[in-house]
Structure 1
Amino acid sequence: MFYIIVIFVVLLDQAAKLWVRFHMEVGQSIPMWEGFQLTYFRNSGAMGSSFEGYGRLFIIPAILVVIWAIYYLHKGMLNGIMLKGGVALFVGGAIGNAIDRSFFGWVTDFLDFGRGISNLADHAITLGVLFIFIHHLIICPLKRKKARSCTS
């Protein structure tokens, strides 16, 4: 299931970005509903356009995250559906943005909620982190309380 989630996130993210690149001009906005629009933006930095122009440097951490996740998965150290799912979402998002950075030197952002522009990979990473926190801050303590052990 881990690899299915990773592949799904990467394919969905890349398909959405491809659609934006082929159907929109940079800077163009398409209103969808109140408070949300599609806005094509090329982000050559990190989240929130920080480190503008240094986006390719984030390929290395993405590769390291993928290697770490696969190593921990194969060692059996990612226990529980919430933790595995969270790490898979994070890895899928990291790969999705790394693909953009590798080919273009920037990431295609297009989801505009009025507080910055993001993409599906960004949201997969955020949701993944949330799942990982839920695992470590809620599920693990409950398991420890019940069985006195939670290793991951």
Structure 2
Amino acid sequence: MYVYYIIALILIVIDQVTKWIVVKNMELYEQITVVKDFFYLTSHRNKGAAWGILEGRMIFFYIITTIVVIGVIYALQKYGKESKLLAISLSFILGGAVGNFIDRIFRGEVVDFLDFNIFGYDYPIFNVADSSLVVGVILVLIGTFLDEKKKGNKGV
């Protein structure tokens, strides 16, 4: 069971180290081209949630993140042994939530730096914690779909 907390911890460390590297080595809004017209490292700060929504509502984020972290740990403890996919999903969600929570507590904003232009769409700048959250949620959805499909096959 501890392996799932180790996965979350590894994601938190990767997230925080990459953010530290960006803060220490790049000026705010500085951009480094990795793949021209596709992928850039751009030093950006976000005082809100995804796409900058709810900017400046730090108390709200503290409360919501605390609730999410408690809920994820509870679900991991209760259901993690039943499903490895769910446990991995929850560890990704936990790592992502804590990674951005650390930024909000110690910086008052979240450090973002992964900047993609996909088929002409300038996707909002994000970070490793955001990626972990997205991967975790996608895995939860896949697991839910597979469980429902399995239940459907048993009912036939």
Query: Do the two structures share a fold, i.e. TM-score over 0.5?
Result: yes
Equivalent residues in 2 for 1:3-152 (5 A)?
3-34=5-36, 35-75=38-78, 77-78=79-80, 79-113=82-116, 114-137=122-145, 139-147=146-154
The question of whether the paired residues in 1 share the 8 Å contact of 2:5 and 2:91 is answered with yes
- Percent identity over the alignment is 36
Task: Report the AA paired with residue 21 of structure 1.
Answer: V
Residue type of the alignment partner of 2:47 = S
State the 1:5 CA deviation. Answer: 1.1
- Please report the RMSD computed on the Cα atoms of aligned residues, expressed in angstroms: 1.4
TM-score (norm: length of structure 2)? 0.87
Q: Given the two structures, how large is their TM-score scaled by the length of structure 1?
A: 0.90
**1:50-104 Cα deviation digits (max 9, x unpaired):** 11222442122111111112222223x2331221111110110000000000011
List gaps (5 residues or longer) in structure 1. Answer: none
Which amino acid letter does the alignment assign opposite residue 119 of structure 1? N
For 2:23, what is the secondary structure of its paired residue?
Answer: helix
Runs of 4+ more than 2 Å apart: 72-75, 145-148
How many equivalent residue pairs? 146
Q: 1:98 to 1:39 in 2, by over 3 A?
A: same
Structure 2 unmatched runs, 5+ = 117-121
